[in-house]
Amino acid sequence: MTTTTTEPTLDRRAADYLAAVRDHLSDLPPDERDDLLDDLESHVHEVAATTDGPLDDALGPPSSFAAELRASAGLAPAAGAPRPPLDRLRRRTDALRRHPWTRAVVDFLPELRPAWWVARGWLLVWLAAEATGGDSSWFPLPELWGNAFLGLIVTVPVVAWSVRLGRNPAPPRWRWVVNACAVLGALVMVGGVGEADAAAGYVTVDDLGQDRIVPNPAGAGASDFAILWWPDGSPITDLDAYGADGQPADGITLVDQDGRTLDLGPARSLPPSPDPAPRVPPRVEPGAAPTTSTSTTGSTTTVPVPPVPAS
């Protein structure tokens, strides 16, 4: 046998040759083809072990090998050549499959399987956590019925079970259901975390008493919980309404450009400002029509429109 350092290339040459022969037998019934190739696998490996050169030299090109195999096995010769565009496509995908980079990635994938088994167990619990309404404030711990500790207790055995399932040499047929659930869990998690995570460009409007995502035009960081912005991009993080008497006004209804109501939540019971000037209501976009907020008591305050600054 050869040394361990040359074995991968040896196996690769054999695998490539077998794949090429398989392509030339693609019109045969799968059972027939597999029987033929199953037998050849060890043969091509043994031939590859005895020669350093290309296997085409030792065994002939895969096309004639396949033709000889058909003839001697008493099978019909290949039905007409494949249509040229399909043939070209197949050659391209073959070339891609044999590209060193593709090989490097494909060879590496099996090493990632244990990581997937662990992740799969965790994702299953995550899916359960989402189903029981837990949020992701304890990320990466799933919260079962809102309980992160319970999530941890459940995660450990589920991960162990998932690893055991992965190491099972004869995986049960329902394994795909488990994998599908894990993928679903991953999708739910990506969606859920994206919601909870105030990524740049999106902020959560907690101060309005509503969990609503608002695009942040200034691209402010996650710490800037803002619902409105001044023209210069500085955030307005809360809105409070004050009556003409300078006292906080409850029951104010603010309406956006589409007629949707903004829930202001309970007014802040701020101590009266020591500043002699009353707290100025937030300005609206310069040049816009004066905004009128109507309280439920019928009193109306008019928000003055600032002059358009010279730009």
* Complex with other proteins: residue 71 or 200, whichever CB lies closer: 71
Phi, psi of 74 (to 5 degrees): 75, 25
228 makes contact with other proteins (CB under 8 A): no
Determine which residue in the list 20, 59, 127, 220 makes contact with other proteins, applying CB under 8 A: 59
Determine which residue in the list 12, 45, 98, 283 makes contact with other proteins, applying CB under 8 A: 45
74 makes contact with other proteins (CB under 8 A): yes
* Complex with other proteins: residue 71 or 270, whichever CB lies closer: 71
Determine which residue in the list 17, 25, 70, 227 makes contact with other proteins, applying CB under 8 A: 70
Q: Where are the alpha helices (DSSP H) in 98-207?
A: 100-131, 148-167, 175-196
* Complex with other proteins: residue 68 or 250, whichever CB lies closer: 68
81 makes contact with other proteins (CB under 8 A): no
Q: Phi-psi region for residue 145, left (φ > 0), alpha (ψ -120 to 50) or beta?
A: left
Phi, psi of 248 (to 5 degrees): -55, 130
208 makes contact with other proteins (CB under 8 A): no
Helix/strand number for the chain, H first, E second? 8, 8
Distances (CA, A) of 110 to 4, 32, 45, 87, 113: 19, 29, 21, 30, 5
- What's the gap between Cα 72 and its chain centre? 51
Of 56, 50, 58, 44, nearest to 2 by C-alpha is 50
19 makes contact with other proteins (CB under 8 A): no
Range in contact with other proteins (rule: CB under 8 A) among 71-79, 218-226, 258-266, 299-307: 71-79
* Complex with other proteins: residue 31 or 232, whichever CB lies closer: 31
CB of 1 to other proteins, least distance (A): 5
Binding site for other proteins (CB under 8 A): 1, 35-36, 38-43, 45-47, 49, 59-60, 64-75
